[in-house]
A and B are shown apart, each in its own frame.
Chain A
Amino acid sequence: MAQEIYQLSATEISQRLAKGELTSRALVEALMKRYHALNKKVGAFTHLDEADVLAQADASDARRKAGKILGPLDGIPVGIKDNIAVKGQPLTCSSKMLAPLVSPYDAHVIESLRAAGAILYGRLNMDEFAMGSSTENSAVQKTYNPWDLARIPGGSSGGSAAALSAGLVPLALGSDTGGSIRQPASHCGIIGLKPTYGLISRYGLVAFASSLDQIGPMARTIDDCVLLLNALSSPDARDMTCFDKNHRKQLPEVAAKSLRIGVPKGVLGKGVGAEVAAATQAAIDFYKSQGCTIIEVDLPSSDLAVPTYYVVATAEASSNLARYDGVRYGHRSANAKTPIEMMTNSRSEGFGPEVKRRILLGTFVLSAGYADAYYVRALRARSKIRAEHLAALEKVDMLLTPTVPTPAFKAGEKVSDPLQLYLEDIFTIPANLAGLPALSVPCGKSGHLPVGFHLVGAPLSENKLLAAARLFEAAHGFANQLPTL
């Protein structure tokens, strides 16, 4: 069956460009046609400068003609989540607070993509300031799940996941603080990787929770994910938490027959939907059939993960978002009589309810009289969670769980219950707390809705995770599957 251009994987595109069977311009024109047809329905992109992307495509084609392409990504569009700085483009984080802001600088990953010749393709919708699990907290527009337009795509990188799933772009950047790449990837039937904390520079990623945030690649195939990951991960002296060149060596890969996969005790038990559990079990059985050893592991501090995450993340966020005050950039309230009044009004007008909730919670857990009971304790709990995971990952090569307990819910279903939404992240959060690489891979359906399984590895084991995922991908047809739209 001949594939439409928009259905091609980035790897296939790269090959066709190299062979001269496709031009970057033709590719971009095809994608823009689909954008015009579908973006209103899906709501993935909040901004796309058509003249600009065509100019980038032309520049790539010119390089190719002159024999001077910059690498395998040259001429391939990459959608950018609206919390990653691109010079001259809006940097709104889907918030009213930053609606007027045009970034005067590039993020490190954007510099890397430019150097690779990739096409920086539009701004993708997200939960405001990356706070949410459904993209319903966007102050700009709604994004819908291409597999069921009455449902949410997940969040906070909902725009990125939906754009890939709807065939609007072959590659996208997301960011992940508690699951914001992996959970929407799972809900939209695509692949999302959160790398080891420190692998990819955060310079230019609008901070939500500094010790948890990572930029990561999102794609429809494992090869595409690797292509994008390689372009993004390099040292950056502008981020002190980014590994320098001497501390980036990947752990060696392991042959399938020697792979030990750890399944945490009770992970398919209560709270997990029956079909999600079945699809995850099927993935476990697949690996067993390949000769891998499946080992039950005990992670007793798992029930501490969500509270620990929400204390640490909101504490850091309350401080990271303090700079948004209408003084130097962004939304400024009119008619205030004093600077403090102006700052307070600007913030109150600019932030949505979930952001305010998290700022208030974060302020509380750091406040005098409560910091010891909450913030300090959370840091101790985090150490315990990390230690348990590292110990388990000495006995196994990776952990396997569902990515999300239940598939994509209906739009509006959970907006009035923040706690419910927080529990979406129960499987994804520990990897952020422990700084570990984690990958969501499509593994089946729950009815018509995608289900993903989740692999977590030791620091700098991305290659191992991707190899295990590739094994699964090769045997199953879930890669590069697009719903009919």
Chain B
Amino acid sequence: MSQGLDIDHLAKLARLNLTPDEKKLYTQQLSQVLTYFEALAKADLPPTADVAMVVDESALRSDEPGKPLGAEAVTKIAPASHDGQISVPRVVDDES
């Protein structure tokens, strides 16, 4: 009873590696949670959700540039950097 839970697909979308045991455990645990969610499916609900919060233009920010962190601070907290840029493994073309 997995209610459409494709754990491999979800793990890929969420960029998580799961061991076979984890896949089994999480599928089972999430299925339980989803069963609990069935109350939502059956409930009588208003046709649309309310807009959470509305603001007017006074909430917008003026176009004044603020102080940047500086490349030094950025590379200081980065796990790997080179000449002010953040290093990552080689991007394979067309990867996403």
Q: Do A and B belong to a common assembly?
A: yes
B-contacting 9-mer, from A36-44, A157-165, A343-351: A343-351
We find that the number of chain A residues with CB closer than 8 angstroms to chain B is 68
In the bound complex, CA of A353 to CA of B19 (Å): 12
The interface residues of chain A lying within 8 Å CB-to-CB of B71 are: none
Interchain CB contact under 8 A, A377 and B40:
yes
Shortest distance in angstroms between A172's beta carbon and chain B's nearest beta carbon? 26
Interchain CB contact under 8 A, B77 and A329:
yes
The interface residues of chain A lying within 8 Å CB-to-CB of B79 are: 100, 326-327, 329-332
The interface residues of chain B lying within 8 Å CB-to-CB of A374 are: 37, 40
Map CB proximity to B onto A373-411 as digits: 1 under 8 Å, 0 otherwise. Answer: 110111111111011000000000000000000000000
Map CB proximity to A onto B34-75 as digits: 1 under 8 Å, 0 otherwise. Answer: 001101110101111110110100110100000001000110
Q: Given the interface contacts A308-B40, A347-B16, A377-B41, does A360 sit within 8 Å of B46 by beta carbon?
A: no
Interchain CB contact under 8 A, A348 and B33:
no
Shortest distance in angstroms between B86's beta carbon and chain A's nearest beta carbon? 6
B-contacting 9-mer, from A200-208, A361-369, A441-449: A361-369
Interchain CB contact under 8 A, B16 and A381:
no
In the bound complex, CA of A374 to CA of B89 (Å): 37
Q: Given the interface contacts A198-B53, A244-B58, A327-B86, does A360 sit within 8 Å of B77 by beta carbon?
A: no
- Chain A CB count within 10 A is highest, among B50, B79, B89, for B79
Interchain CB contact under 8 A, B16 and A373:
no
**26 A-B residue contacts at CB 8 Å?**
A241-B53, A244-B58, A308-B40, A318-B14, A325-B15, A327-B78, A328-B78, A337-B90, A338-B92, A340-B15, A340-B95, A345-B17, A347-B16, A348-B17, A360-B7, A360-B11, A360-B30, A367-B13, A377-B40, A377-B41, A377-B45, A380-B46, A384-B46, A418-B33, A419-B33, A419-B36
Which residues of chain A have a CB within 8 Å of any CB of chain B? 100-102, 104, 198, 211, 237, 240-241, 244, 301, 303-304, 306-308, 310-311, 318, 322, 325-332, 336-345, 347-348, 351, 353, 356-357, 359-361, 363-364, 367, 369-370, 373-374, 376-384, 386-387, 418-419, 422
Contacts A329-B77, A364-B5 supplied; 11 other A-B pairs, CB < 8 Å: A211-B52, A327-B78, A327-B79, A328-B77, A353-B22, A360-B30, A377-B40, A383-B49, A383-B50, A384-B43, A419-B33
